[in-house]
Amino acid sequence: MNIRPIGKRVLVIEEKIEEKRASGLIIPGNAEEKKVRYGRVIAVGSSVEEIRRGEKIIFDRNSGRNIEDYILLEADEVLAVVEGEE
Residue 73: predicted pLDDT: 97
pTM for the whole thing? Answer: 0.79
Residue 54: predicted pLDDT: 96
List pLDDT tens digits, range 21-80: 667 666 665 545 678 999 999 999 999 999 999 999 999 999 999 998 999 999 999 999
Q: Is 39 helix (H, G, I), strand (E, B) or coil?
A: strand
Residue 31: predicted pLDDT: 46
Q: What is the mean pLDDT of residues 4-24?
A: 84
pLDDT confidence of 1, banded at 50, 70, 90?
confident
Domains of the chain in start order, with CATH, are: 9-82 (2.30.33)
Query: Which run of H or E residues covers position 40?
Result: strand 36-44
